[in-house]
Every structure is written in C-alpha cells, then in structure tokens.
Amino acid sequence: MFYLSFYGSVLFRGLLLLILLQVSCISTRGESPLFAKRSPEIPPTITQGKVFLAGHTGEHSKDTEEILKLLQRLVSGTISKDLNFLPEVVSPKDGIYLDVKGNWTREQLIQELSTPDNYFRIYFFDRELLEKQKNSKEVRTVRDLFLSSGGIEVDFYYESKSACELKLKFKENQKLERELINPYFIKQDGKWYLFRLF
C-alpha cells in the first residue's frame, strides 16, 4: 500500500514537472507582451553636462531642463522601439531634418511612421534590416549605440535663445558616439521642438 502511494506521488510530481517545463518553453519562445516588457535592455542614464552660450546671455536653466526631458523621451523611445510620439515633438512649421532623408514636414513624418519598414525601424531599431540596407554586417542601429553607451552626458550649445545643439558623450565606448549626429532643437512660441535627430 505504501509502495503504491509513494510510486503514485513520484509519478504525479514527474508529470507536473514535465507540464511546467513545457509551459516554460512555450512562454520563453513566444513573443508575448508580458515577456517583452521584462526585457533587461533599459535606457541609459542621461545627465546634463556643460552649457555654452554663443554671443548672447540669459538664463537657460528651464530651457536646458525642457530639452533634457525631450532627449530622455527620445532615447527611451528608441530603446523601446517606439517613436510614434515623434510628430508631437516636431514643429508644425519647420518639420524635422533626417540625415538620409533631408527635411520632412510633420505630415510626411506621420506618413513614414505608418509604413512597416520605415526609416526609424531600419536605422534606429532593426539591425537585420540595416544590414540588408547597407549590405554589410558591420553596422549598428541607433538603439545599439545607446545600449553600448554606459550612460550619456549631454553638453548644450545655445546658438541663440531659440536654437540649441547637443553633444552626446558616452561614458563607455566613446568612439561609438561619433556614429551619431548631434541633435538640434528649436524654440517656437515658448516651446522647444526637435529639429534634427541623432
């Protein structure tokens, strides 16, 4: 009697373990939203560096704070592979300048974001697509660069009270920071907008 109950208990535990292993394998292979949210890839810390004023004087602490928050949002969006908010931080009047594409209106930006293999997916998020685009394995997306940075210190260069260029300095792998373009921000009607992306 004892032998049968012990054997049944061992058999039950074995079956339970087998079921749990199968469920675990299925959930780790799948791209479930819950699994995707647990990604260890977190945005790098972004800190303010030096502030330079070119040919003018004035208090820029609030401007610097506003631009820094915009930059943090852009970096976080790049790491999470979601820049759908981009049109709301781009000037309706001046649009955005993108290195490969040139100057785009806000409407052109919205249209580009709605296409599956858009500019941002290729150059910012998806290394495989970028490898195909460049026909090379020696490429890095903007996301790759940020994840390699070890943290970013930002210097602010105010060309005027309404124009500011940023210099991003990586705490690690400094040579990789040269692969990025300096972002540029403009101020219109009391609000800062992104004009040139990384």
Question: What number is the average pLDDT over the span 141-155?
Answer: 97
Number of domains, the chain: 1
Query: The domain containing residue 140 runs over which residues?
Result: 57-196
**pTM of model > 0.85:** no
What's the confidence (pLDDT) of residue 4?
46
Query: Is 74 a member of any domain?
Result: yes
Query: Is 41 a member of any domain?
Result: no
The CATH number that applies at residue 67 is 3.10.450
Angle among Cα 19, 21, 22 to the nearest 5 degrees reads: 65
Query: Is 1 a member of any domain?
Result: no
Query: Is 29 a member of any domain?
Result: no
Cα-based distances in Å from 17 to 22, 30, 54, 77: 9, 20, 68, 39
Q: What is the pLDDT of residues 3-16, one digit of tens each?
A: 445 445 554 455 44
What's the confidence (pLDDT) of residue 155?
98
Q: What is the pLDDT of residues 14-52, one digit of tens each?
A: 544 444 444 444 434 343 332 333 345 889 999 999 999
Query: Is 154 a member of any domain?
Result: yes
